[in-house]
């Protein structure tokens, strides 16, 4: 690290400039006061003349007469040009630095209930497309600068925020308000990096939902023990879907369509809705809600998640009487038209809420 950097460098330059400025004025006064026609005879006159010269105003009421005085005037004139060039250069440099820092996301973002993706690649791009298609805000933390331009060019800054960082420390993650996020997708290059990230991040952000994709399915238990909320194996998912295409292709097509984000009002996908205190179905039986949602919204209720004592229990198509309670989640198959009706009825948008 160089010593003369930052503020120290500017302070030293300023002190040297003041010394040179004072010496030049002193020499100017000594030479001018000896000339009978000189108008600069005191420090007051010299200061006034130097200020008008350096600011390029040049009223002309005070001018040096002697040769030495004019040489000093020439120095001040050149100095004024250099000074303004330096100031303009510094301002331009600062503005460029601010613009670059904004593009790199250095200042962070204060979004809430957003998804955080740690690591950028083609798979992260596909996930981002699905999330933005579902009107979810996404924050991407990446160490790959070549991906930042692509993100800025292909996604709206209102939907996707990207931050460049070599490190994934709690201080860095706090800049993207990870503590207020709805989920964190750990998308680093290796399973080892993902494990280390989970272990380190859980120390500062223990209550978040961490989602991890695994290259080695055998590490699933290890990641769950480390604090991952959900672990997925891309190979296992692809294998199950491929096998389904081989012996039940219609079911496979159906599953493939409903797990994707609906692209128009007529397409169906799965949604989950939080049951709030003012939900019209609070306290009603599941079976009654099933028929009512189908009749009123053309939505098919397929399951419920009961949240009790911090535990989440998924019940698919329950065959016993279950009462709908606040903080439950209702899982349903709906299209875009039905979604609008359910949104109005439930007075809440679909998705997971802490």
Q: What's the 3-state SS for 121-180? A: CHHHHHHHHHHHHCCCCEEEEECCHHHHHHHHHHCCCCCEEEEECCCCCHHHHHHCCHHH
The pLDDT of residue 280 is above 90: yes
Give the domain extent around 293.
265-346
227: in domain: yes
Contact 270, 333 (CB under 8 A): yes
The pLDDT of residue 259 is above 90: no
User: How far lies 97's CA from each of 1, 3, 106, 166, 276, in Å?
Assistant: 20, 22, 11, 18, 46
Distance CA 214, CA 223 (A): 9
pLDDT at residue number 51: 82
Query: Does residue 193 share a domain with residue 232?
Result: yes
152: in domain: yes
Contact 95, 88 (CB under 8 A): no
Instruction: Name the phi and psi angles at 109, rounded to 5.
Output: -150, 155
User: What DSSP string runs through 208-268?
Assistant: S-EEEEESSGGGHHHHHHHT-SEEEEHHHHHHHHHHHHHH-HHHHHHHHHHTSPP-STT-E
260: in domain: no
The pLDDT of residue 63 is above 90: no
pLDDT at residue number 29: 86
352: in domain: no
- Place 44 in a pLDDT band, splitting at 50, 70 and 90: confident
Query: Does residue 171 share a domain with residue 123?
Result: yes
Domains in the chain, number:
3
Instruction: Write down which residue in 52, 83, 103 finishes a domain.
Output: 103
Is the pTM higher than 0.85? The answer reads: no
Distance CA 327, CA 354 (A): 10
Distance CA 250, CA 258 (A): 12
pLDDT at residue number 4: 46
The DSSP secondary-structure symbol of 8 reads: H
Query: Does residue 180 share a domain with residue 279?
Result: no
Query: Does residue 194 share a domain with residue 89?
Result: no
Side by side, the strands of the sheet bearing 183-186 are 160-164, 138-142, 115-118, 183-186, 210-214, 230-233
Mean pLDDT, rounded, for 282-295: 96
3-state SS track over 269-298: EEEEEECCCCCCCCCCEHHHHHHHHHHHHC
254: in domain: no
CATH of the domain at 91: 1.10.287.70
N-to-C CA span, the chain:
46
Query: Does residue 275 share a domain with residue 340?
Result: yes
pLDDT at residue number 5: 55
Query: Does residue 96 share a domain with residue 10?
Result: yes
Those residues whose C-beta lies under 8 Å from the C-beta of residue 235, and which sit 6 or more positions away, are 215, 217
Query: Does residue 138 share a domain with residue 53?
Result: no
Those residues whose C-beta lies under 8 Å from the C-beta of residue 167, and which sit 6 or more positions away, are none
Mean pLDDT, rounded, for 247-259: 87
Contact 187, 216 (CB under 8 A): no
Q: Do β-strands 311-316 and 115-118 pair in parallel, antiparallel, or remain unpaired? A: unpaired
Among 42-51, 79-88, 112-121, 167-176, name the one with the lowest average pLDDT. Answer: 79-88
Among 7-16, 55-64, 295-304, 316-325, name the one with the lowest average pLDDT. Answer: 55-64
249: in domain: no
Query: Does residue 173 share a domain with residue 73?
Result: no
Mean pLDDT, rounded, for 187-191: 92
18: in domain: yes
Query: Does residue 161 share a domain with residue 52?
Result: no
Instruction: Write down which residue in 68, 103, 138 finishes a domain.
Output: 103
CATH of the domain at 122: 3.40.50.720
Instruction: Write down which residue in 71, 103, 135 finishes a domain.
Output: 103
Query: Does residue 200 share a domain with residue 131?
Result: yes
Contact 322, 282 (CB under 8 A): no
Other C-beta atoms within 10 Å of 278: how many?
10
Among 86-100, 207-221, 272-286, name the one with the lowest average pLDDT. Answer: 86-100
Segment 313-328, tens digit of pLDDT: 999 999 889 999 999 9
pLDDT at residue number 60: 67
Query: Does residue 128 share a domain with residue 76?
Result: no
The pLDDT of residue 289 is above 60: yes
324: in domain: yes
Query: Does residue 220 share a domain with residue 181?
Result: yes
More confident position, 309 or 205:
205
């Amino acid at each position: 690290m160089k010593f003369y950097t930052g503020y120290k460098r500017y302070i030293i330059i300023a002190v040297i400039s003041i010394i040179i400025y004072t010496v030049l004025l002193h020499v100017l006064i000594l030479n001018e006061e000896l000339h009978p026609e000189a108008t600069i005879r005191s420090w007051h006159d010299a200061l006034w003349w130097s200020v008008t010269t350096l600011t390029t105003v040049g009223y002309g009421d005070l001018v040096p007469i002697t040769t030495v005085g004019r040489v000093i005037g020439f120095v001040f004139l050149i100095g004024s040009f250099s000074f303004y060039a330096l100031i303009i250069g510094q301002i331009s440099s600062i503005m460029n630095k601010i613009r670059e820092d904004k593009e790199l996301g250095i200042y962070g973002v204060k979004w809430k209930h957003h998804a955080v993706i740690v690591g950028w690649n083609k798979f992260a791009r596909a996930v981002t497309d699905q999330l933005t298609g579902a009107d979810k805000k996404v924050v991407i933390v990446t160490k790959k600068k070549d991906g930042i331009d692509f993100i800025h060019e292909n996604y709206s800054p209102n939907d996707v925020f990207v931050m460049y960082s070599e490190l994934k420390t709690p201080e860095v993650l706090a800049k993207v308000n990870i503590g207020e996020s709805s989920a964190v997708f750990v998308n680093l290059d290796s399973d080892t990096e993902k494990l280390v990230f989970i272990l380190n991040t859980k120390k500062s952000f223990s209550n978040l939902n961490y989602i991890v994709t695994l290259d080695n399915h055998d590490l699933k238990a290890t990641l769950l023990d480390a604090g991952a909320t959900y672990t997925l194996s891309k190979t296992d998912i692809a294998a199950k879907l491929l096998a389904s295409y081989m012996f039940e292709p219609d079911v496979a097509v159906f599953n493939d369509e409903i797990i994707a984000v609906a692209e128009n009002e007529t397409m169906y996908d799965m949604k989950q809705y939080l049951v709030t205190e003012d939900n019209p179905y609070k306290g009603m039986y599941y079976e009654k809600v099933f028929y009512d949602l189908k009749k009123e919204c053309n939505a098919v209720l397929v399951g419920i998640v009961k949240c009790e004592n911090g535990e989440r229990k998924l019940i698919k198509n329950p065959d016993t009487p279950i009462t709908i309670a606040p903080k439950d989640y209702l899982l349903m198959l709906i299209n875009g038209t039905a979604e609008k009706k359910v949104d109005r009825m439930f007075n809440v948008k679909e998705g997971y809420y802490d």
